[in-house]
Amino acid sequence: MYTSITLLGLISLDRFFKIVRPGGRLLGQNVVFAKVLSVSVWVALFGATALPTIILTNQDASNKTDASCMSMKSPAGVRLHTVVVVFMDVLFWVVSILVVVCYMCITNKVLQSFRNSGSKNSQGKQKTKVRVFLVLVVFSVCFIPFHIMRIPRTIQQTNNVNGCSQVSINIAQKVTLWLSTVNICLDPLLYFFLCREFKEKLMGMLNRKGTPSQITSGTT
């Protein structure tokens, strides 16, 4: 999830440089650099978080572990878990600010180009606003609630907080986690409906495959 969020921030930054600050070959505008950067994000996040978590989750399973996998972590694993959660939360909010700023600047640039060209295409302006609005809404709805709940959930896990608040936090955390996974389904829909180039390429691929009857008819 955090690899996806980080790459989304980099994509927003790349679009910012292409539209608002064109010129030069920065970030994703250089294909080789973009590939190296993408691989680096995967390696850095996996190596710094997943591998240590796997290694330090080394306690034997017991009846207590059905409530929380935290019981299977060593003391060092619990401390690492807290550090990772805080770091990822900070990363998320930094990327969120970056995404919002980049898309707002992009929107202003596009609308300014409409005004400078003397265009009265109000429909085009409206579409631009709607596209940016939908991207930001999907990002906010999917990820912000989860990250608001993640810190109290981690405090509860690491300090063994029990009581009514535990049940409420557990339920809230599961609901917000579900919302964050919904993003996997919403992103392709956004690309399909908002990006004409993506839609045309996808439809072209589907049309080239065709049905058996179409293939036979075409051959005949």
- Taking the complete model, does pTM exceed 0.75, yes or no? no
Tens digit of pLDDT for each residue in 127-156?
777 777 888 888 888 888 988 888 888 777
* Residue 61: both structure tokens together: 């399973």
Lowest mean pLDDT across 106-110, 139-143, 181-185, 216-220? 216-220
Q: Per-residue DSSP letters for 55-91?
A: HH--SPP-GGGGT-GGGGS-HHHHHHHHHHHHHHHHH
What average pLDDT does this structure show over 115-135? 71
Instruction: Name residue 135's amino acid.
Output: V
pLDDT at position 124, please?
64
* Residue ranges of domains in the chain: 2-20+28-57+70-209
Distance between CA atoms of residues 25 and 87, nearest Å: 30
Residue 184 has pLDDT above 50, yes or no: yes
Lowest mean pLDDT across 28-42, 60-74, 132-146? 60-74
pLDDT at position 185, please?
84
pLDDT at position 67, please?
55
Lowest mean pLDDT across 138-142, 200-204, 205-209? 205-209
Label residue 216 by pLDDT band (50, 70, 90). very low
Q: Could you report how far apart the first and last alpha carbons of the chain are, in Å?
A: 49
pLDDT more than 90, % of the chain: 8
Mean pLDDT, the chain, as a whole number? 79
Return the CATH superfamily for domain 2-20+28-57+70-209. Answer: Rhodopsin 7-helix transmembrane proteins (1.20.1070.10)
How many C-beta neighbours within 10 Å does residue 168 have?
11
What average pLDDT does this structure show over 43-57? 86
pLDDT at position 64, please?
57
